[in-house]
Amino acid sequence: MKNFQLVATAASGIEALVGREIKDLGYECQVENGKIFFEGGMRDIAKTNLWLRTADRVKIIVGEFNAYEFDELFEKTKALPWEDLLPMDACFPVAGKSIKSKLYSVSDCQAIVKKAIVNRLSDVYHRNTRLPETGALYQLEVALLKDKVTITLDTTGPSLFKRGYRTSKGGAPLKENMAAALVLLTSWRKDRPFYDPVCGSGTIPIEAALIGHNIAPGFNRSFACEEWDWFDEEIFKEVRTEAESLADYDIELDIVGSDIDGKMIEFAKENAIEAGLGDSITFKQMQLSDFTTDKEYGVIIANPPYGERLGEEEAVQTLYKQMGTTYRPLKTWSKYILTSDLTFESYYGERATKKRKLYNGALRTDFFQYWGERPPRAPRT
């Protein structure tokens, strides 16, 4: 079976997490800014699309070469074996980007790559008229960085953060893959309590439950490559069956999400039910300062409002103070708060154990981490 050069794309700041996920799936990989490179065949494309929690997409690298002139871009693109990937009726739009390259006109680069592929396929398929482009979608991208050209084919379709369970969103929700990244960056384990005090539509608790049950995040959605005529449809059936067998539905999870907005709690419950996790998470309407617990060694993850809009700053700072007052006494609990307010610690009332820079979309945020006391080691017998 043919092997491909593959690349998983990721948000800035979480590339190492995606790399760790790919290694845990059994692949060697190379981590760079926003990209994680690895090799694999059709089964590996299916497996990574199904299982990667924190990546954006899985792409096939069709070709890499240097180009300093448009003629060179055309000829080197045309020389690639497009007929191995694109059938005669393929619909193949070309997206593009160019950074610090002599060929800086993105629209020209897109048009030239498209024309080169059309010429190649017209020769191969003996077409004198336009290619129909009535078949499955093969989304291509030409990316130029300092005169190096990389042409990729997207196997994923809609981004991997679109798990398919979010029927109700509310305001500006955290993307599912970023929510999963936040959970994976903490010390939480599935045998410990988990709490999100500003859960909104429930994304962070739902992602925690998917991790706790070892449910493949892409289990309930389809992928672009499943529509391709050369992609063996049995492979996805096998990979999904294997994923089903690996899920642990019997484990009892202690995951709670709360929010002051009752409407958001209803959204969260609907989304959890859609994800098949209605019995795994407890959602309740509650203000943050009312949280009390006798449990120990739990994890709190919060993605509070950032106060970006005019007039909201003071209310958000009051919320940060409430967090400090409510959570600081919980010495055995670890707390993790994502916010774009870099003065957060002064309102919380304590310096973080560690900070990690992350990007929520284009917005720079910090993940403030307050590590709790470790549980005592069991005595040796």
Q: What is the pLDDT of residues 296-339, one digit of tens each?
A: 999 999 999 876 665 678 889 999 999 999 999 999 999 999 99
User: Is the confidence at residue 190, as pLDDT, over 60?
Assistant: yes
Percent of the chain whose predicted confidence (pLDDT) is above 70 = 97
User: Is the confidence at residue 374, as pLDDT, over 80?
Assistant: yes
The stretch 12-33 carries a mean pLDDT of: 96
The CATH class given to the 176-215+224-370 domain equals: alpha beta
User: Is the confidence at residue 50, as pLDDT, over 60?
Assistant: yes
CATH tag, 4-154 = 3.30.2130.30
User: Is the confidence at residue 171, as pLDDT, over 70?
Assistant: no
Q: Where in the chain is the domain with CATH 3.40.50.150?
A: 176-215+224-370
Give the pLDDT confidence score for residue 1 in this predicted structure.
60
Q: Where in the chain is the domain with CATH 3.30.2130.30?
A: 4-154
User: Is the confidence at residue 371, as pLDDT, over 80?
Assistant: yes
User: Is the confidence at residue 83, as pLDDT, over 60?
Assistant: yes
The stretch 275-285 carries a mean pLDDT of: 97
Structure confidence by residue, pLDDT tens digits, 331-358: 999 999 999 999 999 999 999 999 999 9
The stretch 140-165 carries a mean pLDDT of: 96
SS (H, E, C) the chain: CCCEEEEEECCCCCHHHHHHHHHHCCCCCEEECCEEEEEECHHHHHHHHHHCCCCCEEEEEEEEEECCCHHHHHHHHHCCCHHHCCCCCCECCEEEEEECCCCCCHHHHHHHHHHHHHHHHHHHCCCCCCCCCCCCECCEEEEEECCEEEEEEECCCCCCCCCCCCCCCCCCCCCHHHHHHHHHCCCCCCCCCEEECCCCCCHHHHHHHHHHCCCCCCCCCCCHHHHCCCCCHHHHHHHHHHHHHHCCCCCCCCEEEEECCHHHHHHHHHHHHHCCCCCCEEEEECCHHHCCCCCCCCEEEECCCCCCCCCCHHHHHHHHHHHHHHHCCCCCCEEEEEECCCCHHHHHCCCCCEEEEEEECCEEEEEEEECCCCCCCCCCC
pTM of the model as a whole: 0.94
